[in-house]
Structure 1
Amino acid sequence: MLAAGAAFIAIGIAASVYSGVSVDVPLDGTLAPGLTDELSPEMNVGDTAALQVRGSVFNVEIKDPDGQLLTSQANQTQYSYDLTAAKAGEYRFIITNTGSEQVTITGHAKTKASPLGFSGPLLLVVTGIIVVGLSLRFRNR
């Protein structure tokens, strides 16, 4: 049981360090007519994102972490945008399909875990400490 607790602690520490590291994720998908999709990568300063949207008629808005509008395009059939994060935080890519056919979204963005994502690894570390404590307590009996 001691080894299991130590493993929980080690994995929790590794996961908590990794939760603050940006990783490149794809922004691939489709959007049916009349629907809106909101992509919200959590980015560090200098992280990049590239968005391409094609298909039916659509509207695109991109907002920074403070909610300031970076770009807004209406009635587009093809659109691409490259972003380098000037501020750390959650950016928002809002795409609304106003046409009658499917819209295709492609691209990528660097993103990291949200602050809430740090709580999972922290709970794993706490669990490991409890398991180690219990195993030491019952080992002496």
Structure 2
Amino acid sequence: MRKIIRRYPFGIVHQPEPRNEKAEVLARSPHPSEPVADVPVAPPPGSRPEAARFDWLCEAARQPGKAAQLALMLAWQAAQASSPAVKPARRGQRRFGVSRDACYDGLRRLEDAGLVHVWRLPGRLPQVVLVEPGTDQPLQLQ
């Protein structure tokens, strides 16, 4: 493994070479053609979240871009947590095919549509609360 040297105003920092996670997973797999359990692409088959609110999802689907995928991810996380307040974690974004930039754009669009309230702090994941369409009340999941 070669070292990467970064020069900063406060000194020189030696960092290991960036990891290629996909290559590592394929190297661990006995047969590259077999699916690998370490890289989830969909919610696990044993998880049974509560029923989704289709009226909320239909409103979110009318938004442009990846807002519909983001809304599906947020609804799934809210059902798993049994709470309308969630944080869009990177693992969930990767699982539902939403990049970081698309997530922030989608949150702005969902917020403009009145489907979520978002609290943002510098350097932190945004806190998202799903709300009833057209109101300020938290979304009732059941």
**How would you bin the TM-score normalised by the shorter chain?**
under 0.3
Structure with the higher strand share, 1 or 2: 1
Structure with the higher helix share, 1 or 2: 2
Of structures 1 and 2, the one with the larger relative CO (CA 8 A, separation 6+) is 1
Bigger Rg, structure 1 or 2: 1
Relative to the length of structure 2, the TM-score reads: 0.23
